[in-house]
């Protein structure tokens, strides 16, 4: 089976369009919309994710007239429709009938009608209701030629992901009983002898309430997070069954990569995954521009779960709700961000939204068109993008991102960290730092799920992997043994899958691979280490690394004295090491990785490998590659407002402007190029990394 990180979508056409809400507009506006969409090159819209009250205005009374007409009229213009199960916003009549189905927060407060995601997906009655509305919609549109696929719900776990209602407690207890079988097994896994937490039966187990009165059991907390994901998967599964029963030819996806969802498992029943990307959210710390690495990581989270994907909501304009308004994208950025998504594996782009709504909580979440329905620069930019994708889209479909350097991700690692963060850098933040630094060097990189095949990967970063078992450790060691390079950070392999600290010296199961043991760990502020005469500031967490006796472990960097000087056990001790193992190497960094300390790590990676940058450019230019057996496309994305030069390029054609490129390419501010590389540079069968 093809590894997920190498899978294209099954789509026949590159999707381009916008989420559309016919229930918000009158017939005259909808008629004009069809003409403008056609002009802009739209070939698909997404509809109905919040329209339950429209299609079922009274219990058991269905009215599909508005959507029937809209889908038909758009279809006559060559615009297809993606429908959504409308379960993210149940209607008022349902919340009046069943107030007991509302979510409950940790303080015991019930959610109220008037927003969205207010119903608990573990309530058996709500699950039946969600499957009933899904069944009604899918059966009605089963033969409609203009409906091509479905999105389940909308942004699961976006606003609220934990629930403490009675149905959730019962479901949690049943989930635990299924997992452990015997209560003694659970007590052992959680270490419930601590603080007299032993249980006699599964029915005695409460929620792991945080800070009531103090910290929860980390083993129980991790299982609760796992339960949240598994129960959500079960909720979605009921909807997917109804969709596939009505029309097996439809594809099914979802839009979101939010917390407490194991995306690897969640995407298993989907044909491909989807994501919503708003780079404006990365504006922070008075930064003049959004952080490209933020959007890259969001996109890679999605791609690593299932392969190529669709962006169901790509930022079009400034977005804002009650407490905030995101900065307005500068001219060119909307289109640039869309092409950034494509470079990471998007096979479809839908800009949110077609027209800015005039009422409700998102009246300042700007769409392609403004409130007054007058086309302006965003519409022109959108149309330009549509024209480009009509030409280039067929060339893109079937290609997948080139990933030479993988960054491992596993939901359990993030959940384990959240159960006991200790004020340290989360795996998510470490992944972003690694991705940013690799992109700055223009190396082909991306996220890879730990459960996926490592086929084609030449080096692997493993940031924040505290949980370890023999199966994963064996897989990692075999990767290195066969010629790969593995890079790990502090706290690697320190805990079991039950979230208990291992009785073995860290890194458990991987000592032989890294050629070391961790002799001490702790925190000091500030911390620095020295590599090749240069000092690097780093995170407060440190580990003292000890090479195994008689081993070939090489110390690359050592810890500095504290400032001001004071007694400290780490100065002069190893902080960064490299160890040959089989045909490959294992690098260990005895702290969390950050933007400030990754330089020597990546320098070492480059020194012991044959990896090369995709091209040469300023750090504000992102360079990525998508490839297939017969073609290779190089994406050049200028994330700055000033002109940038990209060099080290072969003779080729820029598909955006159809001009020849020879050696170098000049990009104006927020401009991009898609280079169709010579066929001789098309995808080669990947081999393991060979040392220099």
CATH code: domain 405-457+459-607 is 3.40.50.880
pLDDT at 540: 87
Condensed to tens digits (0 to 9), the pLDDT of residues 49-106 reads: 999 999 999 999 999 999 999 999 999 999 999 999 999 999 999 999 999 999 999 9
Condensed to tens digits (0 to 9), the pLDDT of residues 42-59 reads: 999 999 999 999 999 999
Residues near 478 by beta carbon (within 8 Å), at least 6 away in sequence: none
The alpha-helical segments, DSSP class H, found in 273-426 are 292-306, 333-343, 377-396, 411-419
Fill in the DSSP letter of residue 543: E
Task: Give the number of other CB atoms < 10 A from CB of residue 284.
Answer: 9
Each domain of the chain, given as residue ranges in start order, spans 4-162+226-395, 405-457+459-607, 621-681
SS3 655: coil
Distance CA 69, CA 2 (A): 41
pLDDT band per the 50, 70, 90 thresholds, residue 569: confident
Mean pLDDT of 617-639: 97
The whole-chain average pLDDT of the chain stands at 95
- As a whole number of Å, the CA-based R_g of the chain is 26
pLDDT band per the 50, 70, 90 thresholds, residue 570: confident
Mean pLDDT of 245-250: 98
Give the rounded percent of residues in the chain with a pLDDT score beyond 90: 92
Sign of the dihedral through C-alpha 62, 65, 71, 75: positive
Residues facing residue 542 across a β-bridge:
522
Distance CA 400, CA 342 (A): 10
- CA max distance for the chain: 81
pLDDT > 80? residue 564: no
pLDDT at 286: 61
Distance CA 6, CA 253 (A): 18
pLDDT > 50? residue 690: no
Mean pLDDT of 416-433: 95
Is 490 in contact with 542 (CB distance < 8 Å)? yes
SS3 140: helix
Superfamily of domain 621-681: Golgi alpha-mannosidase II (2.60.40.1180)
Using CA atoms, how far residue 556 sits from 96, 288, 409, 530, in Å, is 66, 36, 26, 9
SS3 103: coil
pLDDT band per the 50, 70, 90 thresholds, residue 550: confident
pLDDT at 692: 33
Is 495 in contact with 455 (CB distance < 8 Å)? no
Condensed to tens digits (0 to 9), the pLDDT of residues 445-461 reads: 999 999 999 999 999 99
Query: Which of 3.20.20.80, 1.10.3720.10, 3.40.50.1980, 3.30.450.40 would CATH assign to domain 4-162+226-395?
Result: 3.20.20.80
pLDDT at 682: 52
pLDDT > 80? residue 622: yes
pLDDT at 524: 84
pLDDT at 680: 66
Distance CA 646, CA 625 (A): 14
User: What is the pairing mode between strands 516-523 and 541-547?
Assistant: antiparallel
SS3 558: strand
pLDDT band per the 50, 70, 90 thresholds, residue 473: very high
Q: Which residue has the higher pLDDT, 515 or 571?
A: 515
Is 511 in contact with 505 (CB distance < 8 Å)? yes
DSSP secondary structure string, 456-486? T--EEEETT--B--HHHHHHHHHHHHTT-EE
SS3 551: coil
Condensed to tens digits (0 to 9), the pLDDT of residues 183-203 reads: 999 999 999 999 999 999 999
Task: Report how far Cα 525 is from the mean position of its chain's Cα atoms.
Answer: 32
- E-strand stretches of 29-125: 44-47, 80-84
Residues near 468 by beta carbon (within 8 Å), at least 6 away in sequence: 492, 493, 494, 495, 496, 502, 507, 508, 509, 510
pLDDT band per the 50, 70, 90 thresholds, residue 691: very low
Residues near 680 by beta carbon (within 8 Å), at least 6 away in sequence: none
Condensed to tens digits (0 to 9), the pLDDT of residues 283-335 reads: 765 667 899 999 999 999 999 999 999 999 999 999 889 899 999 999 999 99
pLDDT at 525: 80
Nearest to 231 by CA among 159, 304, 156: 156
pLDDT > 60? residue 684: no
Fill in the DSSP letter of residue 215: P
Which residue shows structure tokens 């205005």? Answer: 57
């Amino acid at each position: 089976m093809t590894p997920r990180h190498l899978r294209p979508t099954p789509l026949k056409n590159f999707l381009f369009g916008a989420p559309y809400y016919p229930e918000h507009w009158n017939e005259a506006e909808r008629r004009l919309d069809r003409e403008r969409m056609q002009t802009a090159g739209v070939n698909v819209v997404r509809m109905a994710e919040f329209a339950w009250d429209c299609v079922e205005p009274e219990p058991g009374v269905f009215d599909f007239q508005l959507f029937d007409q809209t889908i038909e009229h758009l279809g006559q213009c060559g615009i297809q429709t993606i429908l959504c199960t409308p379960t993210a916003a149940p209607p008022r009549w349902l919340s009046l009938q069943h107030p007991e189905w509302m979510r409950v927060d940790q303080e015991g407060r019930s959610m109220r009608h008037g927003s969205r995601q207010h119903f608990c997906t573990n309530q058996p009655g709500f699950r039946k209701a969600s499957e009933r509305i899904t069944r009604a919609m899918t059966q009605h549109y089963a033969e409609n030629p203009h409906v091509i696929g479905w999105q389940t719900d909308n942004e699961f776990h976006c606003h609220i992901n934990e629930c403490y209602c009675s149905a959730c407690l019962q479901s949690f207890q049943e989930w635990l009983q299924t997992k452990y079988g015997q209560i003694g097994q659970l007590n052992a896994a959680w270490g419930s002898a601590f603080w007299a937490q032993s249980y006699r039966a599964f029915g005695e187990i409460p929620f792991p309430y945080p800070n009531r009165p103090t910290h929860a059991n980390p083993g129980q907390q991790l299982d609760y997070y796992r339960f949240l994901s598994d129960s959500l998967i079960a909720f979605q599964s009921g909807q997917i069954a109804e969709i596939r029963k009505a029309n097996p030819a439809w594809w099914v996806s979802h839009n979101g990569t939010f917390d407490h969802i194991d995306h690897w498992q969640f995407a298993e029943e989907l044909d491909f995954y989807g994501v919503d990307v708003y780079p404006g959210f990365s504006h922070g710390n008075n930064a003049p521009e959004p952080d490209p690495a933020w959007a890259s990581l969001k996109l890679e989270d999605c791609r690593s779960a299932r392969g190529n994907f669709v962006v169901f909501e790509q930022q079009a304009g400034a977005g804002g709700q009650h407490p905030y308004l995101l900065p307005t994208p500068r001219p060119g950025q909307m289109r640039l961000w869309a092409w950034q998504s494509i470079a990471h594996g998007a096979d479809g782009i839908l800009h949110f939204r077609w027209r800015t709504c005039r009422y409700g909580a998102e009246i300042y979440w700007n769409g392609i068109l403004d409130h007054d329905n007058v086309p302006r620069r965003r519409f022109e930019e959108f149309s330009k993008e549509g024209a480009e994708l009509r030409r280039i889209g067929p060339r893109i479909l079937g290609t997948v991102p080139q990933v030479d350097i993988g960054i491992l991700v596993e939901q359990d690692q993030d959940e384990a960290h959240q159960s006991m963060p200790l004020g340290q850098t989360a795996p998510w933040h470490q992944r972003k730092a690694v991705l940013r630094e690799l992109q700055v060097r223009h190396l082909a990189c991306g996220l890879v799920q730990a459960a996926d095949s490592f086929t084609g990967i030449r080096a692997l970063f493993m940031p924040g992997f505290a949980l370890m078992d023999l199966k994963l450790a064996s897989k990692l060691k075999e990767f290195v043994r066969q010629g790969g390079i593995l890079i790990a950070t502090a706290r690697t392999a320190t805990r079991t899958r039950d979230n208990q600290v291992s009785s073995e010296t860290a890194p458990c199961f991987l000592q032989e691979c890294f050629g070391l043991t961790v002799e001490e760990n702790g925190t000091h502020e500030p911390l620095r280490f020295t590599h090749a005469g240069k000092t690097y500031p780093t995170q407060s967490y440190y580990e003292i690394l000890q090479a195994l006796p008689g081993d070939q472990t090489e110390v690359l960097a050592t810890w500095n004295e504290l400032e001001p000087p004071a007694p400290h056990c780490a100065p002069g001790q190893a902080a960064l090491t490299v160890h040959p193992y089989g045909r490959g190497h294992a690098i260990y960094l005895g702290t969390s990785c950050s933007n400030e300390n990754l330089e020597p790590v990546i320098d070492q990676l480059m020194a012991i490998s044959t990896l090369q940058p995709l091209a040469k450019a300023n750090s504000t230019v992102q360079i990525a590659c998508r490839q297939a057996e017969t073609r290779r496309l190089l994406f050049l994305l200028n994330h700055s407002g000033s002109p940038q030069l990209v060099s080290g390029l072969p003779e080729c054609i820029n598909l955006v402007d159809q001009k020849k490129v020879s050696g170098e390419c000049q990009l104006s501010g927020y401009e991009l190029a898609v280079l169709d590389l010579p066929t001789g540079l098309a995808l080669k069968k990947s081999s393991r990394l060979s040392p220099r």
